[in-house]
A = this chain, B = another copy of it.
């Protein structure tokens, strides 16, 4: 069981394990097993995960060839789906029960293929699963946002190598989502335009930070990136939430997303990375001013005390150089 607690100074919510905390000697360096031993995400191990929430079959609708994608509840969830929120104060502090959903998207039946090495149509399936699961979780009135993300490589927080990503549905709006919505709303009030639409126009005009471009999407190095080779993908058409994505956009996104990740993988020699889908919170009335996007963050530098404590990042690679390097690579 977990508890959600709010930092009273900056309003950041954290999930605290309540049952029995990890004690000092229980923080070993986690190891990732790539090829050896047992994999709970492989075909044949289906009983090792909780029952499926969603499954895509080979040659549907029959599916005799087995599954190609499964979504299952996380076996060790940070939040649990049953129960009420139990919002309460504790003096000046605020807390609630650790209610939410924590799901794992097993992106392929193959143990040894990375996400970006899957065929484009399989990448599209993963993007469809993100949409389908988000639309379903959105029906639960307790949830205010869904975070979709991937940890690739041990240094990026992955504990299993079999290609997978995660969805976490939350009864609160995470700090970063709140900040982005506030920034975009302020811009909209001032300019009567969407900030990301303005960014897309300027990037297409300046061209120096573009990594890949297609009719529907732009992959680019942001103007003020925290990390070397940080790359964002944004839809050209205005759309506030990921789950609004249409089928033709899914096909376009699977192409540019796959190419961009392959370029990063080639340039940086199989780097650990995270990506996260930034989407408007539910019921936030953000349709005019927010614009969903994906942030890809390779993990090449250490985040030291200065960055952690101040939120101020030192980036040794200008985005214009990173973009040029990636732009010139084959996809």
Contacts and interface: CB of A to CB of B under 8 A. Distances in A.
Interface residues of A, number: 90
A312 to B, nearest CB: 4
A13 B10 CA distance: 18
Given A229-B24, A322-B21, A274 B304 contact: yes
Contacts of A198: 92
Given A24-B325, A93-B224, A302-B157, A15 B312 contact: yes
Given A12-B224, A22-B228, A315-B14, A310 B177 contact: yes
Given A8-B223, A21-B316, 7 more contacts: A8-B183, A16-B225, A22-B317, A93-B202, A149-B309, A175-B310, A297-B308
Contact of A305 (B93, B149, B302): B149
| Protomer copies | 2
A187 interface: yes
A166 interface: yes
A16 B224 contact: yes
A17 B317 contact: yes
Contacts of A268: 24, 27
A267 interface: yes
Contacts of A21: 228, 316-318, 321-322
Interface centre among A14, A187, A269, A275 (most CB of B within 10 A): A14
Contacts of A24: 229, 267-269, 325
Contacts of A224: 5-8, 12-14, 16, 93
A199 B12 CA distance: 16
A268 B303 CA distance: 20
A84 B233 CA distance: 35
A174 interface: yes
